[in-house]
Amino acid sequence: MSLLIVNAASEDTIAAPGNRLENYVVVSVTDGLGNPVTGLTAGNFKVQPLIVGPGGALVNITNVSAAGLPGCYIIRIVPINTETWKAGTYIFAVAVESGGNKGQNLASVLMARDGQRRPFDPQGAGHVPPHSVGTWPAFAPTH
């Protein structure tokens, strides 16, 4: 048995409080030498919410697909049964097992109400904190 190196991140692209749309967890899996682990399917992954928004529920994996570079995957998850996403921070444990090799990591996402949505930065840096909307700090050289 060997260690799998797992990196994970999550984003509430279409999932939001009150809906059951998919939340995406992006995962990179490499072996102990840094080689991409390819050919993984939903059966190789487990996603479990450790901390959920108040009233939040467990999740089901609806799909896993290879994405971008070798060893990168998008895991699509939804709340179990007829539950919906709740406002608040979710922290997911993401575990991967392949041929007796195992690894895990954490991913978090803020499911924000519409009024709390973080504005999107058109410059490509993703979401920006509310205090910096419309202003970018000026950095003065230090001597």
pLDDT tens readout for residues 60-110:
999 999 999 999 999 999 999 999 999 999 999 999 999 999 999 999 999
Domain parsing of the chain, residue ranges: 4-114
The CATH superfamily of 4-114 is: Immunoglobulins (2.60.40.10)
Residue 43 tokens, joined: 């059966």
Select the more confidently predicted residue: 85 or 127: 85
CB atoms within 10 A of CB 96: 22
Report residue 123: phi and psi, to 5°.
Answer: -75, -5
Residues in Cβ contact with 117 at an 8 Å cutoff, skipping those fewer than 6 apart: none
User: Tell me: the pLDDT tens digits for 108-125?
Assistant: 999 987 645 544 444 444
Average pLDDT of every residue of the chain: 84
Residue 52 tokens, joined: 């959920």
At residue 37's C-alpha, the angle toward residues 32 and 42, to 5°, is: 125
At 120, the amino acid letter reads: F
pTM to 2 decimal places: 0.79
Cα distance between residue 66 and residue 61, in whole Å = 14
pLDDT value at 2 more than 80: yes
pLDDT grade for 10, boundaries at 50, 70 and 90? very high
Task: Please give the biggest Cα pair distance in the chain.
Answer: 60
Select the more confidently predicted residue: 6 or 136: 6
